Amino acid sequence: MKEKISLSKFTLIISTLNFLLFHYGFFNFVFENIDTKSFNGILMIVSLLILMVIANFFAFYLVLFLTRIVGKILLSITFLLSAISVFFINTYSIIVDESMIGNVFNTNYEESSSFFSFKLILYILFMGILPCIFIFKTKIEYPTVKQFFKTWGLSLLPILLLVGINAQNVLWIDKNSKYLGGLAMPWAYSVNTALYFVHKAQENREEIPLPDAQILNNEKSVVVLVIGESARSQNFSLYGYEKNTNPLLSQTEGVTHFPATSCATYTTAGVKCILSHNDSGDLYEILPNYLDRTGVDVIWKSTNSGEPPVKIEKYFNGNDLRKDCEGEDCGYDGILLKNLKEDILGSTKDKILIILHTSTSHGPLYNTKYPIEFEKFSPVCTSVELGNCTPTELINAYDNTIVYTDYLLHKVISELQDLEGYKSSMIYISDHGESLGEKNLYMHGLPMSIAPKEQYEIPFIVWTNNGKTKTLKSANQGCIFHSVLDFLSIGSPVLEKELSVFGK
C-alpha cells in the first residue's frame, strides 16, 4: 500500500510546483520593472518569491482540508486553467485581467479554435495533466482540526510579516497592480472571473430607453456603418503608412479620414462604445435598437461577436449568412456585402441603417482572413504562435488584412455610388487596435491605463456622396452614434451635433 504524506507536505509541494510552472511571466515583469541592484529591489523580489508560495499554501491547505476529494478536483482544474493561461501570457504577452476574462466568455468557437496549436497541447500536457495525475495518485493524511488551525495560522504569519516589511513598496505595487494581479496564478483568472460575473450582475440587463426620437424629413438616406476588428490606423496608408495598404480608398473621391482612438482595447467594450450615445458605462438603448424603434430600417450583418443585445428583426450572424452562400466570399468578410444594394432598394422606408460587423484583422491567423489574391505582401506569418514569425512575416500578414479591408470598403462605396436618389454614406471605424510584436506584445486586450497606442489608435474613415464632412483634429468612437443620427436627419434630445462628423 502506498505510503500517505501529510496534508501540509503535499500542499507545500503543490504550492511550490504552482510557483515554478506558472510564474515566469510574473517575475519577468518584476525583474524588468524594479532595480535589482538595490537593497529595496532585492527585498521585493525575495518577498514576492516567498509570498507566492506561502499565499498559495494558505489557500490550497484550507480548500483541501475542507473539501478533500472535491479539493483535489478543484486543484486539478486550477492547474489546467493555469497551463492554458500561461500559454497565452508567454505566447502573446497578455495579462489575465477582468477585461480578458470578458473576452474569453464572449469569444465564439471560430475565434477560439484559431489559437489551437501543438505548443498549447504541450502546455496542457506537461503543466496541466501531469500535475493532475500526481494530485490524484497521492494519498494524503489529513490532520486533526487542532493541527489544521495551528498550521494554517502559522502560514498566515509570514504573509503578514512580508506585507509589513514591504510597506515602502506599496506605491510600486499599486502602480503595477494590474500587471501583477493579471500574471499571478491561479488568482488572475479566479479573482477576475468572480469580478466579471459580479459586475455583469450589476449591469442593467434591460436597456435604459432613450428619449423618443423622430424622423425630420422624408429624404431617402442610407448609412452603411462598418465596424472593423483589430484594425490600427498606423497600418493604413491613408494615415501615412509607407506601404500602400489603401490602393482603392486613396483614389476614391469623397473619402475623409480622422485621427481617432477607441474607448477600450477589446471588442465588447469597443462595440458598445461605438453604438452608444455616451460612454457612461450604463447599458443605454444602443443605436440599432433606438433607430429601429424610431422607424428606420435597420439591418445588422455580422461575422463577429461581442456586441450588446441587438433587438431588431433583421439581424443576421455568420451562420445565417453562410446558409445559402456560394462562392469564395462565403469564407471571408465579403459575405457581408452580399445583396447590399438589393437590401437598400428593397426597403420600404426612407431612412436605412446597415451595420456590418467584420472580423477581417482578428489574429492570430491573419493570413486566413483574406482571399489569396489579396496577399499583396509576402512572406507571411502562418503560425498561431506569433513570436515564432519574423516581424516582416507578421506585419505582412496583417497588412494584407488591411488591403482586403480597403477592397471591402471601396466595394461598399461603389454600391452606394450606383444608387440614384439617395443621400448615402459609408462610415468605417474599428473596435480597437492591435499589437504586432512592439514591446513584445501581441494582439490586444491590455487595460487602457497601460495599453500601448497600437491597441487604441484606430482608423475612422467616412465617405459621403454630398461631401459634407467636418475637419476634425481628433475623434473617437463616441462620434458614431451622433454622426449617424445627424446624417439620417433624426431629431433626438440626446443628439449632440458637435460630435457629428457631418456638416461644415
Residue ranges of the alpha helices (H) in 126-221? 130-137, 145-165, 170-175, 177-183, 187-202
Alpha helices (runs of H) in 216-309, residue ranges in sequence order: 267-275, 287-294
Q: Of 277, 317, 5, whose CA–CA distance to 134 is shortest?
A: 5
- Euclidean distance between CA atoms 297 and 348, whole angstroms: 8
| Dist. CA 110–CA 89, nearest whole Å | 21
Give the CATH number of domain 214-499; options: 3.40.640.10, 3.90.340.10, 3.40.720.10, 3.40.50.720.
3.40.720.10
Q: Please tell me the predicted confidence (pLDDT) of residue 1.
A: 45
d(CA 339, CA 333): 13
Are 86 and 123 within 8 A, CB to CB? Answer: yes
Q: How far apart are CA 48 and CA 44, in angstroms?
A: 6
Give the C-alpha separation, 431 to 271, whole Å. 6
42 near 36, Cβ under 8 Å?
yes
Distance CA 486, CA 489 (A): 5
Looking at residue 209, its pLDDT comes to 94
How many degrees, rounded to 5, is the angle at CA 461 between CA 272 and CA 358?
50
pTM (2 decimals)? 0.80
Domain spans, the chain:
5-202, 214-499
Nearest to 313 by CA among 330, 295, 340, 336: 295
Question: What whole-number distance in Å separates Cα of residue 66 and Cα of residue 71?
Answer: 8
C-alpha cell read off for 465? 456622396
> Can you give the pLDDT of all 504 residues of the chain as single tens digits?
468 899 999 999 999 999 999 999 888 888 888 878 888 788 888 888 888 899 899 899 999 999 999 999 999 999 999 999 999 888 888 888 877 877 777 776 666 677 778 888 999 999 999 999 999 999 999 999 999 899 888 888 888 888 788 766 766 776 677 778 888 999 888 888 887 777 666 555 678 999 999 999 999 999 999 999 999 999 999 999 999 999 999 999 999 999 999 999 989 899 999 999 998 878 899 999 999 999 999 999 999 988 888 999 999 988 888 887 788 788 899 999 999 999 999 999 999 999 999 999 998 899 999 999 999 999 999 988 888 899 999 999 999 999 999 999 999 999 999 999 999 999 999 999 999 999 888 899 888 888 899 999 999 999 999 878 888 888 999 999 999 999 999 999 999 999 999 976
379: preceding bond cis by omega (within 30 degrees)? yes
Residue 202 is predicted with a pLDDT of: 56
Count of CB atoms situated within 10 Å of the CB of 28: 15
Share of the chain residues as helix, strand and coil, in percent rounded to the nearest 5: 50, 15, 35
